[in-house]
């Protein structure tokens, strides 16, 4: 079906369904299917030449269903300075939303869901409301930050912001669209479609003749000028040739590369062309909106002294200085470096810094987004662990790649399968990408291109030679047997393998193998999806830095990744596999090491926790400054971002704030004797606590209780000294937050009579579940053990069953929750639990332990002791050996524990001043350059 007709059908059928919904009919997938078929039949009757095949109908049903059925369960969070003058609501009725309406119609034509469009508009309105009112006279400056998950739709959001800002009266838009030419060009294409409504290259390529409207241009003609094109970045000659002025009535958009030289070039043109003199107060009066995409990259001033400044940071400041009215908005998925801009509180008053002092906004994501919670939840089927002896780990410049490992061959076969299955699902013309990111060095990338292509051609030759025999006889060929084994080993799909095998012919014909790096020159290896719009680009992309940030890989399904960093922002930005995967999320696979999986899972939890903190601070009407300080004192702050982005903090005293945190000890020694010693101590410890409380008279507070739902044993009024002794005696490896900070916090808390004593619990699982791995336990006694309640101190414990990774010394699991995600609820009363659940439900999220700790009832710390049934996979060198598992600690539970610290604002009877003093005194302070264990795990990484 013609693409234009397809999009028109989306609009027309969607509008009719909206009428039906408004009339009281619920829109379901079945109703969508019925309306689509009716519309297609009517068109065929009226126009006998009209063609629509089964794939077209399926695609229409899916697209239109998404409009109504995709929901946004996440909440919009805005943290702002209360002194900022808000203006948008009172001005909305006066504004003609011409550009925004055209953009909104374009999104509807693309079958974006109603809730997603509305959620994006809410974000944009919030940003504008806290930005400067372009109609306000005088001088003003605003600085803000918009946070959103990797590949979650930030570009769509800031393109919408540009349109609304133009409608409101912003005349100059500077968009820093990436640090590489490819990224800038990709961003320019989005601007062409979503703002200009025409291809910017026509401004240079006059041979093309009359321009054809695209994107928003199909809904409205506008007068927006562009100072850049898809062919080239900003140049003075080009701007002079176009003849526009930033003093005029027509808006101008510059989409430039985030490069100090490019910013200097634009700065000098604006200054000289408009006869400006910043030092003498001669500036442009028309308002500026500067949007900084990937704002944590290069923007942050990484110089360690306040009288120094990096060139990129200086370039942004200089551009802002040319306009008497300006708003700076940074967009990023990893905002931590921006919050580390300067740890010195006094610099918040400095108008020149780029700290987002006026507002921070968290973009909500729809429920069809596949991000960190989809891949790194500890149980994801989309993760494939790489072998420890992978020859592509930690490649040095002097290393030669002589062969590709079996895991990479498996990934290539998986990609072939993905292309075939998507074709079967009616997506034959969709883009398909596979990412291979193992080295930042061109020599390795180019070598891998040769080796992967060599293997791909080997598979292709086998298919051409044997496919005519049918898929059963084709198994006689080793390569084709490998493809079939990969299909059944990696996937459990509804598609029949015979049909998939037949479709692989299309995959072999279309797939290309490209190394994308600076050595490509002007060859045909250009990752330009727009030029393959009709038939789809199917490509295995090998790259490094180009593929690690910003660049969108369309239809990314298979990712092979061995590079590592323990800086949050560096690591998360490499997750190009995050995004939207309509009708093929079940095909996506990520090949990474167990170590990387652990770090990603840890970071996912830390980021989620900080965003929850953002929401809590919003509810308490705190400011961006308060959140910035909280992030700096977060227990994981030393691995949030690279050292050079933390500026002067490198040589200063830093503080660690554990209030409102959960500290976990879920890394276990594989040595059974250590675990046995832990169990023995815990038994004696709990037994002693119970005996002491039995002697207390009944009329006093009940100090030993059983949670009625989980049957967990809870002991109240436990002294800090007792818990400190427990921590010191239990032999468990420290997690990323070490015992020094924890013990310091507890000792300081024990000195203050306003802070209640501990509650200690022996956790009991509500019910036992059956795992996939337990049927493959190598020992029948172990199978019986994990399915039998464990008697401990007169209580029958249902042990949580967990499969752990082993490095030969320690057992651990990528997921930070070895219990349940909401175990802290056992300490609260029913009323308090229900209040937390209802509060979270109102925000479309599930209540977790972090929320229960935030309950006003929780003014006490807790120690939660677990007895796990943990297993590990048996490693064998035999290729075809069956997978078996064993309990490393035999028929004995594995002991772990968590410590949770209440939020200080919930301390009863404490004044604001007293709370501040309590928090100040309890912080663990240290010299950053002396904390070797923490600092050494952060990769030396510099954006510049």
Digit-coded pLDDT (tens) for 860-902: 999 999 999 999 988 765 445 577 889 999 999 999 999 999 9
pLDDT of residue 304: 43
Rounded to an integer, the average pLDDT of 186-207 is 85
Which tens digit of pLDDT belongs to each residue from 482-536? 999 999 999 999 999 999 999 999 999 999 999 988 665 555 677 788 788 888 9
pLDDT of residue 940: 34
642: pLDDT confidence band, cut at 50, 70 and 90? very low
pLDDT at 652 over 60: no
Give, as one character, the DSSP assignment of residue 874: P
Q: Using CA atoms, how far apart are residues 360 and 542, in angstroms rounded to an integer? A: 36
Q: 113, 66 in Cβ contact below 8 A?
A: yes
Q: Using CA atoms, how far apart are residues 143 and 348, in angstroms rounded to an integer? A: 11
Which tens digit of pLDDT belongs to each residue from 385-421? 887 567 787 788 888 899 999 999 999 999 999 999 9
Q: Using CA atoms, how far apart are residues 252 and 243, in angstroms rounded to an integer? A: 12
Total residue length of the chain: 944
Nearest of 122, 134, 107, 307 to residue 219 by alpha carbon: 107
Q: 254, 261 in Cβ contact below 8 A?
A: no
767: pLDDT confidence band, cut at 50, 70 and 90? confident
Q: 122, 361 in Cβ contact below 8 A?
A: no
pLDDT of residue 655: 67
Nearest of 387, 428, 433 to residue 414 by alpha carbon: 433
Phi, psi of 42 (to 5 degrees): -65, -40
pLDDT of residue 645: 46
Q: Using CA atoms, how far apart are residues 539 and 138, in angstroms rounded to an integer? A: 53
Nearest of 644, 575, 652 to residue 312 by alpha carbon: 644
| Angle between the N-to-C axes of helices 114-130 and 98-109, in degrees from 0 to 180, rounded to the nearest 10 | 150
pLDDT at 820 over 60: yes
pLDDT at 82 over 90: no
pLDDT at 556 over 70: yes
pLDDT of residue 541: 94
* Residue 575 CA neighbour count, 13 Å, CB half: 28
Rounded to an integer, the average pLDDT of 338-362 is 62
Query: Chain-wide mean pLDDT for the chain?
Result: 85
Which of 650-654, 790-794, 930-934 has the highest average model confidence (pLDDT)?
790-794
H or E segment to which residue 437 belongs: strand 432-437
- Number of neighbours of residue 148 by Cβ within 10 angstroms: 24
Q: 616, 79 in Cβ contact below 8 A?
A: no
Q: Using CA atoms, how far apart are residues 330 and 655, in angstroms rounded to an integer? A: 27
- Any long-range contacts for 423-426 (C-beta under 8 Å, 24+ apart)? 423/503, 423/506, 423/507, 424/495, 424/499, 424/500, 424/503, 425/58, 425/495, 425/583, 425/584, 426/54, 426/55, 426/56, 426/58, 426/59
pLDDT of residue 814: 65
pLDDT of residue 524: 61
pLDDT at 550 over 50: yes
* Residue 797 CA neighbour count, 13 Å, CB half: 25
pLDDT of residue 273: 94
| Angle between the N-to-C axes of helices 3-22 and 98-109, in degrees from 0 to 180, rounded to the nearest 10 | 100
Report DSSP letters for 226-256, one per residue: ES--SS----HHHHHHHT--TTSSS-EEEEE
Rounded to an integer, the average pLDDT of 684-695 is 89
pLDDT at 211 over 80: no
Out of 265-279, 382-396, 717-731, 747-761, pick the least confident: 382-396
pTM: 0.82
Which tens digit of pLDDT belongs to each residue from 691-722? 888 766 554 558 899 999 899 999 999 999 99
Task: Looking at 169-284, list the stretches that DSSP marks H as alpha helix, in order from N- to C-terminal side.
Answer: 181-191, 236-242, 260-273
pLDDT of residue 743: 92
- Percentage above 70 pLDDT, the chain: 86
Q: 785, 571 in Cβ contact below 8 A?
A: no
Rounded to an integer, the average pLDDT of 609-637 is 76
Nearest of 681, 828, 862 to residue 760 by alpha carbon: 862
Could you tell me which residue, 310 or 583, shows the higher pLDDT? 583
Phi, psi of 51 (to 5 degrees): -115, 130
Out of 448-462, 672-686, 697-711, 739-753, pick the least confident: 697-711
Report DSSP letters for 51-88, one per residue: ---HHHHHHHHHHHHHHHH----S--EEEE-TTSPP-H
Residues 6+ apart with CB under 8 A from 887: 777, 779, 782, 785, 786, 869, 870, 871
Q: Using CA atoms, how far apart are residues 682 and 35, in angstroms rounded to an integer? A: 65
Out of 132-141, 226-235, 313-322, 525-534, pick the least confident: 525-534
pLDDT of residue 811: 86
Out of 105-109, 546-550, 788-792, 839-843, pick the least confident: 546-550
pLDDT of residue 4: 84
- Percentage above 90 pLDDT, the chain: 53
Q: Any bridge partners for residue 897, and if so which? A: 665, 865
Nearest of 577, 578, 569 to residue 641 by alpha carbon: 569
pLDDT at 847 over 60: yes
pLDDT of residue 939: 35
Q: 752, 829 in Cβ contact below 8 A?
A: no
H or E segment to which residue 460 belongs: helix 442-466
Q: Any bridge partners for residue 900, and if so which? A: 662, 862
Which tens digit of pLDDT belongs to each residue from 778-809? 889 999 999 999 999 999 999 999 988 887 78
Rounded to an integer, the average pLDDT of 661-665 is 89
């Amino acid at each position: 079906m013609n693409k234009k007709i397809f999009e028109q059908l989306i609009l027309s059928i969607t509008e009719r369904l909206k009428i039906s919904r408004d009339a009281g009919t619920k829109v379901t997938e079945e109703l969508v299917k019925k309306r689509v078929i009716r519309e297609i039949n009517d068109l065929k009757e009226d126009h006998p030449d009209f063609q629509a095949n089964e794939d077209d109908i399926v695609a229409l049903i899916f697209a239109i269903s998404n409009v109504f059925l995709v929901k946004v369960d996440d909440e919009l969070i805005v943290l702002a300075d209360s002194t900022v003058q808000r203006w948008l609501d009172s001005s909305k009725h006066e504004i003609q939303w011409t550009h925004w309406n055209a953009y909104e119609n374009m999104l509807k034509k693309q079958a974006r869901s109603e809730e997603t469009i509305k959620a994006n508009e809410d974000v944009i309105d919030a940003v504008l409301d806290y930005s400067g009112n372009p109609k306000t006279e005088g001088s003003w400056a605003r600085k803000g930050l918009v946070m959103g998950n990797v590949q979650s739709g930030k570009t769509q959001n800031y393109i919408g912001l540009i349109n609304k800002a133009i409608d409101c009266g912003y005349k100059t838009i500077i968009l820093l669209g990436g640090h590489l030419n490819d990224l800038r060009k990709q961003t320019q294409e989005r601007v062409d479609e979503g703002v200009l409504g025409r291809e910017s290259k026509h401004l240079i390529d006059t041979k093309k003749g009359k321009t054809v409207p695209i994107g928003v241009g199909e809904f409205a003609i506008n007068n927006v000028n562009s100072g850049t094109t898809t062919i080239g970045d900003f140049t003075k000659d080009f701007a002079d040739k176009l003849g526009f002025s930033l003093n005029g009535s027509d808006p101008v958009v510059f989409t430039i590369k985030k490069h100090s030289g490019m910013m200097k070039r634009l700065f000098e043109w604006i200054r000289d062309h408009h006869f400006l003199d910043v030092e003498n107060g001669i500036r442009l009066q028309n308002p500026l909106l500067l949007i900084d995409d990937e704002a944590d990259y290069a923007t942050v001033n990484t110089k360690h002294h306040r009288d120094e400044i990096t060139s990129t940071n200086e370039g942004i400041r200089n551009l802002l200085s040319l306009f008497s009215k300006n708003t700076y908005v940074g967009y990023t998925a990893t905002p931590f470096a921006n919050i580390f801009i300067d740890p010195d509180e006094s610099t918040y008053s400095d108008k020149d810094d780029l700290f987002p002092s006026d507002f921070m906004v968290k973009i909500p994501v729809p429920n069809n987004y596949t991000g960190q919670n989809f891949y790194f939840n500890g149980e994801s089927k989309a993760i494939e662990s790489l072998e420890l002896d992978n020859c592509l780990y930690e490649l040095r410049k002097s290393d030669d790649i002589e062969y590709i490992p079996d895991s990479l061959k498996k990934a290539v076969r998986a990609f072939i399968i993905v292309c075939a299955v998507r074709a079967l699902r009616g997506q034959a013309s969709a883009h398909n990408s596979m990412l291979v990111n193992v080295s930042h060095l061109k020599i390795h990338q180019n070598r891998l291109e040769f080796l992967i292509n060599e293997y791909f051609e080997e598979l292709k030759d086998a298919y051409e030679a044997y496919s005519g025999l049918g898929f059963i006889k084709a198994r006689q060929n080793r390569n084709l047997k490998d493809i079939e084994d990969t299909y059944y080993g990696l996937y459990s799909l509804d598609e029949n393998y015979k049909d998939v095998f037949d479709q692989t012919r299309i995959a072999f014909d279309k797939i290309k193998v490209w190394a994308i790096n600076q050595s490509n020159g002007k060859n045909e290896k250009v990752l330009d999806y727009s030029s393959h719009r009709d038939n789809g680009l199917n490509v295995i992309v090998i790259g490094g830095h180009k593929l690690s940030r910003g660049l969108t890989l369309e239809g990314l399904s298979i990712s092979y990744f061995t590079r590592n960093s323990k800086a949050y922002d560096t690591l998360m930005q490499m997750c190009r596999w995050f995004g939207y995967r309509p009708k093929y999320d079940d095909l996506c696979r990520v090949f990474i090491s167990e170590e990387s999986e652990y770090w990603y899972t840890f970071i996912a939890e830390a980021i989620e926790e900080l965003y929850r903190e953002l929401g809590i601070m919003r509810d308490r009407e705190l400011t961006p400054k308060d959140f910035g300080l909280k992030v700096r004192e977060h227990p994981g702050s030393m691995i949030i971002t690279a050292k050079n982005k933390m500026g002067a903090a490198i040589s200063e005293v830093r503080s660690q704030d554990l209030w409102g945190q959960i500290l976990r000890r879920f890394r276990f020694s594989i040595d059974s004797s250590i675990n046995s010693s832990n169990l023995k101590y815990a038994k004696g410890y709990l037994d002693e606590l119970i005996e002491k409380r039995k002697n207390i008279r009944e009329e006093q507070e009940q100090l030993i209780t059983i949670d009625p739902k989980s049957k967990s044993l809870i002991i109240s009024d436990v002294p800090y000294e007792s818990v400190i002794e427990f921590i010191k005696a239990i032999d468990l490896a420290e997690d990323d937050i070490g015992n020094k900070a924890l013990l310091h916090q507890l000792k300081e808390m024990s000195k203050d009579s306003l802070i209640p004593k501990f509650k200690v619990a022996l956790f009991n699982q509500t019910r036992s579940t059956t795992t996939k791995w337990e049927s493959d336990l190598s020992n029948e006694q172990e199978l019986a053990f994990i399915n039998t309640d464990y008697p401990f101190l007169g209580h029958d414990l249902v042990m949580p069953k967990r499969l752990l990774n082993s490095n030969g010394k320690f057992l651990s699991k990528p997921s930070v929750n070895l219990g349940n995600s909401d175990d802290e609820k056992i300490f609260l009363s029913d009323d308090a639990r229900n209040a937390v659940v209802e509060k979270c439900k109102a925000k479309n999220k599930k209540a977790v332990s972090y929320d229960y700790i935030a309950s006003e009832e929780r003014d006490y710390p807790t120690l939660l002791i677990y007895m796990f049934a943990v297993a590990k996979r048996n490693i064998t060198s035999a290729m075809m050996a069956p997978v078996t598992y064993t309990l490393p600690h035999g028929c004995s539970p594995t002991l772990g524990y968590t410590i949770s610290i209440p939020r200080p604002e919930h301390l009863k009877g404490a004044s604001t001043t007293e709370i501040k003093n309590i928090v100040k005194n309890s912080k663990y302070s240290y010299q950053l350059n002396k904390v070797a264990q923490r600092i050494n795990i952060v990769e030396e990484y510099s954006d510049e």
